[in-house]
Amino acid sequence: MILPLPLPKNSPEKLFAYLVLLTEERISTLEKQAAKLKNMLKKTNMPLFPEKFLELPSSLVSQRWLSPPEKQQAEEQTENKSLHALELIFTAKVSNGTVEAAEVSWRAFLAESLENSAIDFYLRLQESNKPASPKKGLLADMDGTLVENETLNDLAHFVGKGDAVSKITRLAMDGKLDFKEALARRVRLLRNTPLQSFLQIESQLRYTPGVKKLFRFLKRKNIATALISGGFKPLTTAVQQELDIDFEFSNNFAIEKGHLTGELVAPIITPQEKKKIVTQFARSCHIDLAQLAYIGDGANDLLAISSVGLGVLYNPGTNLQHNCPHVLRHVKDLRALLYMQGITGFSATPSANNA
């Protein structure tokens, strides 16, 4: 959801477009694309989206690199790619329609301009020519977001039910099957799985690049965090403890004599429940919803994403990419969340013992 801003009375020229470009490609790729965008935005005869309130020309107000210099990144580099982030602030005129409509036009312009590049972007129109203040809380999905695994699929493969469970997972994540029904069907297939199996799956968890550095930074800054997952304990608890996340909300298997019964224990973390938890988290931490960030990768995250000030869809399926204004399609490093908020000054590259 794009939060509309009130138009400044008689002074639309005081609006600014805050833009962050992100890539894991060469830094020269980002520099060339930024120069191209700046030249395009200078033109007075740009025919692109005139009916949608994108008014040109727009002049560059400021530019700065949020990521450390490339030389420093090369010195720190491990097996992970470097993450480059460039912040640009432009003047932005809106004299017809709303700021919300203008943001839609700017995003359409940027999406078309960057279509053939491996560059993601974050954009918002604002009244200040300064970066927005960092959010005060972060909530995140687990499977496919904080970890690269789909842990229920991994468990199913381990006990020989992988193909059947993975098929149901794909349908649910793409929004083609009701989440609660899909979850119940997958859990039934895991009936009689021994609890000992979870130890094997935990040992195979692959943490998303940048995620450990992200949560260390948040902890240092006393920013509240929560894991909200449609996945299951004890795996969600293992991830919470590894990343030192403040709160954990996830599902529970019904267990009898050390084996799964094939049933779920209420309450179930549905998309609606995720949104409810976000609201409760904001209330208990005394944080306005607009000051929260949320990141997830599936259709079951969209309600939660739409309820906060910075909602990001991470590495989604193709049919979901247009359901959220802020999408990370190319960048697979969660430090991008910090750069999207104009945060800089932390080391660019993770330590060798994972991102």
Torsion angle (degrees, nearest 10) of CA 100, 106, 111, 114: -150
Q: Give me the residues paired with residue 169 across strands.
A: none
Question: What number of residues does the chain have?
Answer: 355
CA distances from 351 to 142, 169, 220, 330, 355 (A): 21, 32, 17, 22, 6
User: Which residue is catalytic, options 120, 143, 297, 301?
Assistant: 143
Helix (H), strand (E) at residue 332: none
Does the annotation count 297 as an active-site position? no
Pairing type for strands 60-65 and 84-91 reads: antiparallel
Give long-range contacts, CB 8 A cutoff, 24+ apart: 37-40: 37/88, 37/110, 37/113, 38/88, 40/113
**Whether 182 contacts 169, CB under 8 Å:** yes
DSSP states along 85-120? EEEEEEE-B--SS-HHHHHHHHHHHHHHHTTTSSEE
Nearest Cα to Cα of residue 17 among 31, 37, 33, 36: 37
Q: Give me the residues paired with residue 292 across strands.
A: 137
User: Which residue is catalytic, options 120, 141, 301, 333?
Assistant: 141
Residue type, 204: Q
Question: How many other CB atoms sit within 10 Å of the CB of residue 42?
Answer: 13
Question: How many other CB atoms sit within 10 Å of the CB of residue 188?
Answer: 13
Does the annotation count 178 as an active-site position? no
Annotated catalytic residues are 141, 143
